[in-house]
């Protein structure tokens, strides 16, 4: 009985997610798009949904949306990626699709939430294979700047990134580089 109900619920969940994905692809309204994407990104928080989300190619949907012009869409898509990228299958999929580069690009966004999601997602996507790409010099440099941010949340995340994911040598190198260049990625706006 309960198993049947669960099956029904499971089916319902998949159908519901399918409806969201369909609406996201079909709708012309950017507002509806945002709302639906937020919905999907929140579903990505719960590991129970991962099978469905993979089935519906929501990972691709998130990754594709990272290149949209709409800031809010990028924020939500990155939030979704940040939510589901700890799962090993999802992580492998994102790494395979070169999601790291797309996420690194988002570090220069002006939206704080996006940037924070990006920092966390990068930490969660770090594997022996992806480490080199994730702790590339420009990224470490960026993190150094973030670690000085007035936003406590951002500075905390950047500090963790520098302390736990980078070698002291890398940090030192990036520090030397920032000393000599006046250029830098602007801090995200509030």
Interface ranges with another protein (CB under 8 A): 8, 11-12, 15-16, 19-20, 22-23, 34-36, 38-39, 41-42, 45, 47, 50, 72, 75-76, 79-80, 82-83, 86-89, 113, 116-117, 120, 123-124, 151-153, 156-157, 159-160, 164
- Cβ-proximal residues to 8 (8 Å cutoff; 6+ apart), any chain: none
What is the CA angle 123-51-4, rounded to 5? Answer: 145
Of residues 47, 46, 107, the one with CA closest to residue 78? 107
User: Closest CB to another protein among 108 and 155?
Assistant: 155
Whether the Cβ atoms of residue 125 and residue 94 lie closer than 8 Å to each other: yes
Residue 27 DSSP symbol = -
CB of 176: closest distance to another protein in angstroms? 23
CB of 165: closest distance to another protein in angstroms? 11
Distance (Å, whole) CA 50 – CA 81 = 11
CB of 156: closest distance to another protein in angstroms? 4
User: Closest CB to another protein among 116 and 182?
Assistant: 116
CB of 52: closest distance to another protein in angstroms? 13
User: Closest CB to another protein among 153 and 176?
Assistant: 153
Helix (H) or strand (E) holding 86: none
CB of 45: closest distance to another protein in angstroms? 6
User: Closest CB to another protein among 39 and 178?
Assistant: 39
CB of 174: closest distance to another protein in angstroms? 19
User: Closest CB to another protein among 156 and 178?
Assistant: 156
* Residue 40 exposure: Cα atoms within 13 Å on the Cβ side: 36
User: Closest CB to another protein among 165 and 177?
Assistant: 165
With the CA atoms of 67, 70, 73 and 77 taken in that order, what torsion angle do they form, in degrees rounded to the nearest 10? 20
Whether the Cβ atoms of residue 17 and residue 44 lie closer than 8 Å to each other: no
């Amino acid at each position: 009985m309960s198993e049947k109900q669960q099956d029904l619920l499971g089916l319902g969940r998949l159908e519901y997610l399918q409806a969201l994905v369909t609406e996201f692809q079909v709708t012309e309204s950017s507002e509806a798009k945002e709302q639906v994407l937020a919905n999907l990104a929140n579903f990505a928080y719960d590991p129970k949904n991962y099978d469905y989300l993979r089935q519906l190619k929501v990972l691709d949907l998130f990754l594709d949306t990272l290149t949209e012009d709409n800031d809010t869409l990028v924020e939500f898509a990155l939030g979704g990626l940040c939510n589901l990228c700890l799962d090993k299958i999802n992580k492998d999929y994102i790494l395979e699709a070169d999601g790291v580069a797309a996420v690194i690009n988002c570090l220069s966004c002006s939206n704080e939430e996006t940037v924070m999601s990006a920092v966390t997602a990068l930490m969660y996507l770090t594997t022996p294979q992806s480490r080199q790409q994730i702790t590339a010099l420009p990224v470490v440099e960026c993190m150094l700047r973030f670690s000085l941010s007035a936003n406590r949340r951002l500075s905390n995340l950047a500090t963790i990134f520098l302390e736990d994911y980078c070698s002291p040598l890398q940090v030192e190198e990036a520090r030397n580089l920032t000393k000599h260049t006046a250029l830098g990625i602007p801090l995200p706006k509030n």
